[in-house]
Amino acid sequence: MELGSPGVAPGGVSVSAVLPAGGSGERLGGATPKQFCAVQGRPLVSYAVRAMERISWISDVIVVVSPENTETMKTIIEKYGHKKVTVVKGGITRHRSIFNGLKVFAENEFSSHLLQKPEVVIIHDAVRPFVEEDIVAKVVMAAKEHGAAGAIRPLVSTVIASAADGCLDHSLERARYRASEMPQAFLFDTIYEAYQQCTDYDLDYGTECLHLVLKYCKTNAKLVEGTADLWKVTYKRDLYAADSIIKDNLSQQVCVITNVKETLAQVGFLLPESLKSQIKVEAISQSLSKNDSHLQNIISGQCYNFVCVNDKRCAIQEIQELVDMLEKSNIPLLYPVVLISVHLDISENNSFSIGMEDLTMIKKFARETKKKNILVYGLLIQCKDPLLLQETVNSAAALIMALIKDRNPELIGQLLVA
Amino acid sequence: MELGSPGVAPGGVSVSAVLPAGGSGERLGGATPKQFCAVQGRPLVSYAVRAMERISWISDVIVVVSPENTETMKTIIEKYGHKKVTVVKGGITRHRSIFNGLKVFAENEFSSHLLQKPEVVIIHDAVRPFVEEDIVAKVVMAAKEHGAAGAIRPLVSTVIASAADGCLDHSLERARYRASEMPQAFLFDTIYEAYQQCTDYDLDYGTECLHLVLKYCKTNAKLVEGTADLWKVTYKRDLYAADSIIKDNLSQQVCVITNVKETLAQVGFLLPESLKSQIKVEAISQSLSKNDSHLQNIISGQCYNFVCVNDKRCAIQEIQELVDMLEKSNIPLLYPVVLISVHLDISENNSFSIGMEDLTMIKKFARETKKKNILVYGLLIQCKDPLLLQETVNSAAALIMALIKDRNPELIGQLLVA
């Protein structure tokens, strides 16, 4: 289970997290601050919150937003079912916002109820959606031991110092320096003391918590080498990258549910086989039933792609059952689910044609399920010539993969033909 | 004209470019070095070459590749019609490769014919595909004046120095430092002298040309603030971002060619109107003709999207003419072209249906044109009810936009229905 009861943190410490989300996103060049930009339909901040919240040993997640975005943030928490979050009003700079977030654990004025002060507090960014439990645990452990710790990455470009005349003063030796990334973690008392001691100048112009604890608490943070996915969404291209990475992550597994009569069993077998070379396949050869625990397990195992193979002309009833099951899980809440209804036809009738009524029906159905974040597409596999069967099935698998990888909401309700 | 005869550089200097492309792409995590990774079907290095080559005042573009990739690079030059390129074998490090590239202008041994030594040489990366003429000109001008110049960008993360024990030593004040990016430019004699003077240690462990000219020629490079698109493709996410940016750039303009009978003129008018809210539209209301100079102008003006609206059941002949015209331009050579054949049907016959023969024919046609990098899709607009006409046209426009933005090669030959 992803969302278990609070577990025990590495080292047995109590841990909470503060996510500053007050930035204005100027570098992104849009009107919406980047933490509220939608990726696969969901605001970026929700991904970062989820990344923290799903770690069972993190107790509270404090999201600090600028006052004008408090309601937006509360709506996001409600809509995506976030459970551990407290929203706090930020200050005018990053440091002031983080300080406000920390006060929730120490001073009464900032929250209706004082939250349990954690031994270690994580500071992470609302615009770093891909942080894994592993690196968070490492940083927390290091913070417990050293008082402070932060993830680092190698520098991508050489760093140079410019002189007053706009010319090169000197370049830094790249190997000696690192980019300071997130997450960082601190003994709560240490970081809180640093914020209490620091000057207005620090609060207004500084950005680096590691620097504050070094300056005011003489704590040299432990640096922890992080993975490439810790990067911060800064520019529009980073939003594109985040979108592609999420689509990639959602395209790892497909569940193929086959319900066809004897004569079509071969196709029902060949299609999952053809898909297996490109994606992990869970094949179910039976009629759908609401009590099917195998399917329930697949759904709760975070499968976001379903292919229903059948030989009926219009199998909307069968798909409806699956839609109902998905709706009861929280899967389509967090990510769009792809559902492809595959219709097999091996009639040797050359005048086969697709009627407009069928098309209108699947479109109407798809428009309804889209509101539930389930993207329904139709696919017709026509295999009159047994010699071309394998080729047709391969072409169907290619179309299925394209629909899964793209998750294009504009193409829902269309009927593709393999 | 994009590819004119060599023009005059800013400041009237002669200019050539060296592109080191010898990297192994370890950080990308794939087997293919990143400069050879395909983005929209074309290797990244070809984008960087093109970005230099299309600048009329750049005479020669030297691409330095590791010996095992010489043939790959020559194939790329042939395939994408690059005209100004000389391929040079690289050394085992970045600096040794750049030095080899420079030698082509100064020493006979590295090229069959000695190229004309430029006054200013640009050094750019093969993995920075989006450099604009404007910044190249600025850097060249600054190099002419100061002897050296380089593009810089603000730091995205705080830079920190680590101590020997893996703990924080100190953080740098972010505002004083910059990331050193590309392009850079140098008076040829200055950079060449720096390379001749520098030590083996420099050649083996250094990466920064600005540092070399400072150290060996006492030349303080002028730093030129660059735009966000100068970033270097380093990680897999950067390839995703590059792909999305290119798709975005290709989706700025569509040419709608309408050829329908009087009764359908309204739809022929409404569709471009509906598209105009999302994309720049060039509308042509006439039959296609090979001598159509307006269409020719649109094609040579780098339009990558075409919509052919007609009332014939199967209009492959009409599309074929457009395909022929496109093939004669070099447009589909560099980028995939989207061609959507829209069929209008306003018959009140409820039993309208799509026959398999039509589908098979458009699929077969699309498979052939895909080899020419032209992606053909079908779209049926069915509008029996005049009251729903606007809604249907809007839905057609949304499908057209989805096809243009996605450029999905797997969905070619499919017939979508609005």
What residues does B255 pair with on adjacent strands? B282, B306
Q: Where are the alpha helices (DSSP H) in A232-330?
A: 236-250, 265-276, 293-300, 316-328
- Strands B305-310 and B337-345, by their bridges, are parallel
Are residues A153 and B155, on separate chains, in Cβ contact within 8 Å?
no
Are residues A174 and B354, on separate chains, in Cβ contact within 8 Å?
no
Residue B22 exposed, middle or buried by CB count within 10 Å (0-12, 13-18, 19+): buried
- Strands B353-355 and A415-417, by their bridges, are unpaired
Give yes or no for B382 touching A (CB within 8 A).
Answer: yes
Give yes or no for A168 touching B (CB within 8 A).
Answer: yes
* pLDDT for the residue numbered B3: 34
Distance, in Å, from the CA atom of B2 to the CA atom of B129, rounded to the nearest integer, reads 17
- What residue ranges of chain B are covered by domains with CATH 3.90.550.10? 10-236
- Give, in order, the Cα–Cα distances in Å from A147 to each of A103, A184, A220, A221: 19, 11, 8, 7
Mutate to test the interface with B, among A162, A237, A249, A408 (most CBs of B within 10 A): A237
Report the sign of the C-alpha dihedral through residues B130, B135, B137, B142, in that order: negative
Q: Which residue from B222, B240, B408 is facing A166, i.e. has the nearest CB?
A: B222
Are residues A417 and B152, on separate chains, in Cβ contact within 8 Å?
no
Are residues B401 and A415, on separate chains, in Cβ contact within 8 Å?
no
Interhelix angle A44-53/A236-250, nearest 10 degrees: 50
Distance, in Å, from the CA atom of B224 to the CA atom of A166, rounded to the nearest integer, reads 8
What residues does B282 pair with on adjacent strands? B255
Closest A-chain CA to B238: A241
Give yes or no for A417 touching B (CB within 8 A).
Answer: yes
Q: What is the pLDDT along chain B (418 residues), one digit of tens a residue?
A: 333 345 567 778 999 999 999 877 665 566 789 999 999 999 999 999 999 999 999 999 999 999 999 999 999 999 999 999 999 999 999 999 999 999 999 876 555 667 899 999 999 999 999 999 999 999 999 999 999 999 999 999 999 999 999 999 999 988 889 999 999 999 999 999 999 999 999 999 988 999 999 999 999 999 999 999 999 999 999 999 999 999 999 999 999 998 887 777 788 889 999 999 999 999 987 665 555 788 888 988 889 999 999 887 667 888 998 999 999 888 899 999 999 999 887 666 555 566 777 788 899 999 999 999 999 999 999 877 888 889 999 999 999 999 999 999 999 999 999 9
Are residues A382 and B356, on separate chains, in Cβ contact within 8 Å?
yes
Report the sign of the C-alpha dihedral through residues A58, A64, A65, A70, in that order: positive
Question: Considering only residues 188 to 227 of chain A, which have any Cβ-Cβ distance to chain B shorter than 8 Å?
Answer: 207-208, 210-211, 214, 220-223
Give yes or no for A164 touching B (CB within 8 A).
Answer: no
Are residues A180 and B162, on separate chains, in Cβ contact within 8 Å?
no
Q: Are B137 and B131 in contact (CB under 8 A)?
A: no
* pLDDT for the residue numbered A296: 86
- Give, in order, the Cα–Cα distances in Å from B183 to each of A78, A329, B29, B48: 47, 51, 25, 11
Looking at the complex, report in whole angstroms how far the Cα of residue A410 sits from the nearest Cα belonging to chain B. Answer: 6
Contacts of B351 in chain A (CB under 8 A): 355-356
Distance, in Å, from the CA atom of B122 to the CA atom of B116, rounded to the nearest integer, reads 14
Q: Which of B208, B372, B350 is nearest to A172 (CA)?
A: B208
Give yes or no for A249 touching B (CB within 8 A).
Answer: no
Displacement of CA A251 from its chain's centroid (Å): 13
Mutate to test the interface with B, among A153, A356, A375, A379 (most CBs of B within 10 A): A356
Are residues A245 and B234, on separate chains, in Cβ contact within 8 Å?
no
Give yes or no for A351 touching B (CB within 8 A).
Answer: yes
Looking at the complex, report in whole angstroms how far the Cα of residue A118 sits from the nearest Cα belonging to chain B. Answer: 23
Q: Which residue from B211, B240, B411 is facing A245, i.e. has the nearest CB?
A: B240
Are residues A238 and B241, on separate chains, in Cβ contact within 8 Å?
yes
Q: Are A64 and A95 in contact (CB under 8 A)?
A: no
Q: Which residue from B223, B350, B355 is facing A353, i.e. has the nearest CB?
A: B355
- Nearest 10 degrees: Cα torsion B226, B231, B232, B238: -170
Q: Where are the alpha helices (DSSP H) in A22-80?
A: 44-53, 70-79
Q: Which residue from A146, A156, A356 is facing B352, i.e. has the nearest CB?
A: A356
Q: Which of B21, B290, B238, B56 is nearest to B130 (CA)?
A: B238
Looking at the complex, report in whole angstroms how far the Cα of residue A233 sits from the nearest Cα belonging to chain B. Answer: 10
Are residues A161 and B170, on separate chains, in Cβ contact within 8 Å?
no
H or E segment and range at residue A131: none
* pLDDT for the residue numbered A142: 97
Q: Which of B17, B6, B12 is nearest to B182 (CA)?
A: B17
- Provide the residue type at B361 as one letter: M
Looking at the complex, report in whole angstroms how far the Cα of residue B220 sits from the nearest Cα belonging to chain A. Answer: 5
Looking at the complex, report in whole angstroms how far the Cα of residue B235 sits from the nearest Cα belonging to chain A. Answer: 8
Give yes or no for A390 touching B (CB within 8 A).
Answer: no
- What residue ranges of chain A are covered by domains with CATH 3.90.550.10? 10-159+171-246
Q: Are A344 and A270 in contact (CB under 8 A)?
A: no
Size of interface A-B (CB pairs under 8 A): 209
Closest B-chain CA to A379: B414
ipTM score here?
0.92
Give yes or no for A388 touching B (CB within 8 A).
Answer: no
Q: Are B110 and B42 in contact (CB under 8 A)?
A: no
- Provide the residue type at A379 as one letter: L
CATH architecture, range B10-236: Alpha-Beta Complex (3.90)
CATH architecture, range A10-159+171-246: Alpha-Beta Complex (3.90)
- Strands A148-154 and B168-171, by their bridges, are unpaired
Looking at the complex, report in whole angstroms how far the Cα of residue B328 sits from the nearest Cα belonging to chain A. Answer: 30
* pLDDT for the residue numbered A261: 77
Looking at the complex, report in whole angstroms how far the Cα of residue A288 sits from the nearest Cα belonging to chain B. Answer: 29
Q: CATH topology for B251-417?
A: Rossmann fold (3.40.50)
Q: Are A305 and A255 in contact (CB under 8 A)?
A: yes
Q: Which residue from B27, B167, B417 is facing A146, i.e. has the nearest CB?
A: B167
Give yes or no for B249 touching A (CB within 8 A).
Answer: no
Distance, in Å, from the CA atom of A379 to the CA atom of A400, rounded to the nearest integer, reads 8
Distance, in Å, from the CA atom of B403 to the CA atom of B406, rounded to the nearest integer, reads 5
Closest A-chain CA to B146: A167
- Give, in order, the Cα–Cα distances in Å from A98 to each of A71, A271, A340: 19, 52, 45
Are residues B167 and A238, on separate chains, in Cβ contact within 8 Å?
no
Looking at the complex, report in whole angstroms how far the Cα of residue A411 sits from the nearest Cα belonging to chain B. Answer: 7
Q: How many residues does chain A have?
A: 418
Distance, in Å, from the CA atom of B152 to the CA atom of B224, rounded to the nearest integer, reads 6
- Give, in order, the Cα–Cα distances in Å from A317 to each of A24, A258, A287, B131, B181: 47, 15, 12, 53, 58
Cβ neighbours, 10 Å, residue A5: 6
Looking at the complex, report in whole angstroms how far the Cα of residue A34 sits from the nearest Cα belonging to chain B. Answer: 15
Could you report how far apart the first and last alpha carbons of chain B are, in Å? 38
H or E segment and range at residue A155: none
* pLDDT for the residue numbered B266: 82
Are residues B220 and A167, on separate chains, in Cβ contact within 8 Å?
yes
* pLDDT for the residue numbered A349: 58
Q: How many residues does chain B have?
A: 418
Contacts of A211 in chain B (CB under 8 A): 158, 171
Q: Which residue from A162, A240, A414 is facing B223, i.e. has the nearest CB?
A: A162
Closest B-chain CA to A358: B353
Distance, in Å, from the CA atom of A19 to the CA atom of A64, rounded to the nearest integer, reads 6
- Provide the residue type at A158 as one letter: T
Contacts of A398 in chain B (CB under 8 A): 410
Distance, in Å, from the CA atom of B137 to the CA atom of A290, rounded to the nearest integer, reads 66
- What residue ranges of chain A are covered by domains with CATH 3.40.50.720? 252-417
Residue A295, SS3?
helix
H or E segment and range at residue A309: strand A305-310
SS (H, E, C) chain B: CCCCCCCCCHHHCCEEEEEECCCCCHHHCCCCCHHHCEECCEEHHHHHHHHHHCCCCEEEEEEEECHHHHHHHHHHHHHCCCCCEEEEECCCCHHHHHHHHHHCCCCHHHCCCCCCCCCEEEECCCCCCCCCHHHHHHHHHHHHHHCEEEEEEECCCEEEEECCCCEEEEECCHHHEEEEEEEEEEEHHHHHHHHHHCCHHHHHHCCCHHHHHHHHHCCCCEEEECCHHHCCCCCHHHHHHHHHHHHHHHCCEEEEEEECCHHHHHHHHHHHHHHHCCCEEEEEECCCCCCCHHHHHHHHCCCCEEEEEECCCCCHHHHHHHHHHHHHCCHHHHCCEEEEEEEEECCCCCCCEEEHHHHHHHHHHHHHHHCCCEEEEEEEEECCCHHHHHHHHHHHHHHHHHHHHHCCHHHCCCEEEC
Exposure of B68 in the CB half-sphere (CA atoms within 13 A):
6
Are residues A210 and B354, on separate chains, in Cβ contact within 8 Å?
no
Distance, in Å, from the CA atom of A209 to the CA atom of A220, rounded to the nearest integer, reads 11
Give yes or no for B416 touching A (CB within 8 A).
Answer: yes
Q: What is the pLDDT along chain A (418 residues), one digit of tens a residue?
A: 333 345 567 778 999 999 999 877 665 566 789 999 999 999 999 999 999 999 999 999 999 999 999 999 999 999 999 999 999 999 999 999 999 999 999 876 555 667 899 999 999 999 999 999 999 999 999 999 999 999 999 999 999 999 999 999 999 988 889 999 999 999 999 999 999 999 999 999 988 999 999 999 999 999 999 999 999 999 999 999 999 999 999 999 999 998 887 777 788 889 999 999 999 999 987 665 555 788 888 988 889 999 999 887 667 888 998 999 999 888 899 999 999 999 887 666 555 566 777 788 899 999 999 999 999 999 999 877 888 889 999 999 999 999 999 999 999 999 999 9
Distance, in Å, from the CA atom of A12 to the CA atom of A7, rounded to the nearest integer, reads 9
Q: Are B173 and B142 in contact (CB under 8 A)?
A: no
Distance, in Å, from the CA atom of B28 to the CA atom of B234, rounded to the nearest integer, reads 6
Give yes or no for A179 touching B (CB within 8 A).
Answer: yes
Are residues A180 and B167, on separate chains, in Cβ contact within 8 Å?
no
Q: Which superfamily does CATH assign the domain made up of A252-417 to?
A: NAD(P)-binding Rossmann-like Domain (3.40.50.720)
Q: Are B342 and B310 in contact (CB under 8 A)?
A: yes
Looking at the complex, report in whole angstroms how far the Cα of residue B402 sits from the nearest Cα belonging to chain A. Answer: 6
- Provide the residue type at A46 as one letter: S
Q: Are A16 and A101 in contact (CB under 8 A)?
A: no
* Full DSSP string of A220-252: -PEEEE--GGG----SHHHHHHHHHHHHHHHTS
